[in-house]
């Protein structure tokens, strides 16, 4: 077989390398742009650049601290609400595990567990946390069951130091691999086994170092949802006699925080890079790179020894591992340039400004997953009526088909443009606020490298999102 024939044969097998769950990202229609794509990219970049110029000119980059109380909740009401959410989290956890173990097997949308985990929980709950704050803190079944079992720190001396969340970084990468690379991520029984394995590990960890330290240092989901919640316009605050629901400026929760530790900064970069890679993996450019890498593995004999599936998994794992490296390299270059202006070490600069990436991650998350949530998320409704595959029809919706017209691609595209630009604009504001606290009169000049990075990343993010949505 010639090299060209080998490449053609490998390219024909590419769909087999895509995890079953990831196939749900595909869209049935595309949007014909009324203007060339580069007009949107340039306009988005210009909007972020103008936001930087306006902030620099007015010196009002810091989101206002003003909070408006919109609802007061008494102690008894708050306890009842918390108990209800915790109970719901535990019951949902048990139902989903039962569905995964005893329910149907087949495609990704044949069982409730994969749909609920990858779409309703990971995507849907992220959307809710970006609006209403850290709901996962109450819904978390592992935390609730640990409290019921009264797990305490058996060996507190083994706990990581405060601010050390490297275990959470490692576990978040492992979870991202399971979501984006693992070929069996839509197999309900294997997914249930993975959840059970993590559950046992989490409870053992809570028993050894304590639930509080586990959540702070080791729990990737607690850190991720809490990070998104800092961007939410709604937050709860404890007051005398109960709780108050407050309305605040988006991203205001990130302003008063001290510079994070190196591991906390790494977590932010990893969170942004993994969702970015999910978008990159849907582009024609990535398919071309994949084809070349598979051809190289074929020529080296790897495919003959381990098969096409292992080769595809290796290629995508490599891409997932390189994504945070590439993002950190670009961020570090901007921080190094800022450090020269502000006379500060690059590492310190990176820790000072890394929180400005959080609203960017939030905006990209919203833009990338909106259609996925609204369209593919419907697949779980008929499964919810028959979670164990016993022929039930609890809500009269069994057999309901997905309505792909629930949202059109024009709306998806305009939403993506708005959220990407808004996320970067908030990031620019947070970076400016951090620079003014650190550098004073040199703040504007020190922010030029970071502003240039955010303009470039805005345009790149929008280009990535455009590939499966619009005709270009």
Please say whether the beta carbons of 435 and 52 come within 8 A: no
* Between 224 and 29, the higher pLDDT residue: 224
Report how far residue 19's alpha carbon sits from residue 314's, in angstroms, rounded to the nearest whole number: 13
Report how far residue 58's alpha carbon sits from residue 24's, in angstroms, rounded to the nearest whole number: 45
Quick one: which of 407, 463, 381, 462 has its CA closest to 27?
A: 407
Task: Give the pLDDT of residue 391.
Answer: 80
* pLDDT tens, position by position, 319-363: 999 999 999 999 999 999 998 888 889 999 999 999 999 999 999
The three-state secondary structure class of 237 is strand
The three-state secondary structure class of 256 is coil
Residue 230: exposure state from Cβ atoms within 10 A (0-12, 13-18, ≥19): buried
- Evaluate the CA torsion angle 300, 303, 308, 313 in order and state its sign: negative
Task: Give the pLDDT of residue 471.
Answer: 66
Quick one: which of 226, 229, 230, 216 has its CA closest to 165?
A: 216
CA distance between the termini of the chain? 35
Q: What is the CA angle 148-149-154, rounded to 5?
A: 135
* pLDDT tens, position by position, 385-421: 888 888 887 777 777 788 888 888 888 888 999 999 9
Report the 10 Å Cβ neighbour count for 123. Answer: 20
SS3 content of the chain, % helix, strand, coil (to 5): 70, 5, 25
* pLDDT tens, position by position, 428-451: 888 888 888 877 767 778 888 888
Q: What is the CA angle 163-164-168, rounded to 5?
A: 115
Report how far residue 248's alpha carbon sits from residue 234's, in angstroms, rounded to the nearest whole number: 6
pTM over 0.95: no
Please say whether the beta carbons of 89 and 168 come within 8 A: no
Lowest mean pLDDT among 168-182, 190-204, 282-296: 282-296
Report how far residue 210's alpha carbon sits from residue 196's, in angstroms, rounded to the nearest whole number: 20
Domain boundaries, the chain: 3-471
What is the CA 57 to chain-centroid distance, rounded?
A: 33
DSSP 62: S
């Amino acid at each position: 077989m010639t090299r060209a024939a080998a490449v053609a044969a490998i390219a024909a097998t590419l769909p087999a390398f895509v995890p079953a769950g990831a196939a749900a990202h595909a869209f049935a229609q595309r949007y014909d742009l009324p203007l060339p794509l580069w007009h949107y990219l340039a306009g988005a970049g210009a909007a972020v650049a103008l936001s930087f110029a306006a902030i620099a000119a007015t010196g009002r980059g810091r989101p206002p601290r003003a909070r408006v109380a919109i609802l007061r909740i008494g102690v008894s009401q708050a306890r009842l609400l918390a108990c209800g959410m915790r109970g719901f989290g535990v019951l949902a956890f048990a139902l989903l595990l039962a569905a995964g173990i005893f329910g149907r097997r087949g495609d990704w949308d044949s069982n409730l567990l994969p749909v609920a985990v990858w779409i309703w929980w990971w995507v849907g709950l992220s959307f809710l946390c970006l609006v209403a704050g850290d709901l996962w803190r109450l819904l978390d079944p592992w935390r609730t069951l640990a409290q019921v079992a009264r797990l305490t720190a058996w060996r507190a001396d083994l706990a990581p130091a405060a601010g050390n969340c490297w275990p959470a970084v490692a576990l978040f990468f492992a979870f991202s691999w399971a979501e984006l690379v693992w070929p069996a991520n839509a197999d309900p029984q294997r997914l249930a086994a993975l959840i059970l394995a993590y559950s046992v590990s989490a409870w053992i960890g809570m028993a050894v170092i304590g639930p509080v330290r586990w959540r702070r240092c080791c729990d990737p989901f607690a850190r991720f949802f809490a990070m998104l919640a800092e961007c939410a316009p709604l937050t709860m605050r404890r007051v005398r006699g109960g709780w108050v629901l407050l309305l605040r400026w988006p991203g205001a929760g990130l302003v008063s925080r001290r510079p994070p530790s190196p591991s906390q900064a790494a977590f932010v970069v990893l969170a942004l890079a993994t969702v970015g890679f999910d978008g990159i993996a849907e582009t024609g450019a990535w398919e071309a790179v994949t084809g070349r890498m598979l051809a190289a593995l074929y020529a080296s004999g790897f495919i003959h020894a381990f098969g096409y599936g292992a080769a595809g998994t290796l290629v995508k794992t490599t891409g997932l591992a390189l994504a945070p490296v590439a993002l950190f390299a670009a961020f570090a270059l901007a921080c190094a340039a800022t450090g020269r202006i502000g006379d500060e070490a690059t590492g310190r600069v990176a820790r000072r400004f890394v929180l400005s990436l959080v609203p960017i991650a939030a905006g990209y998350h919203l833009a990338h997953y909106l259609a996925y949530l609204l369209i593919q998320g419907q697949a779980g409704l008929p499964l919810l009526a028959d979670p164990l595959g016993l022929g039930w029809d609890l809500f009269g919706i069994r057999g309901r088909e997905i309505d792909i017209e629930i949202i059109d691609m024009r709306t998806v595209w305009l939403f993506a443009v708005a959220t990407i630009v808004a996320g970067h604009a908030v990031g620019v504001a947070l970076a400016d606020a951090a620079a003014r606290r650190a550098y004073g009169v040199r703040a504007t000049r020190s922010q030029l490298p970071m502003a240039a990075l955010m303009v470039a990343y805005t345009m790149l993010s929008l280009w990535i999102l455009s590939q499966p949505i619009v005709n270009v």
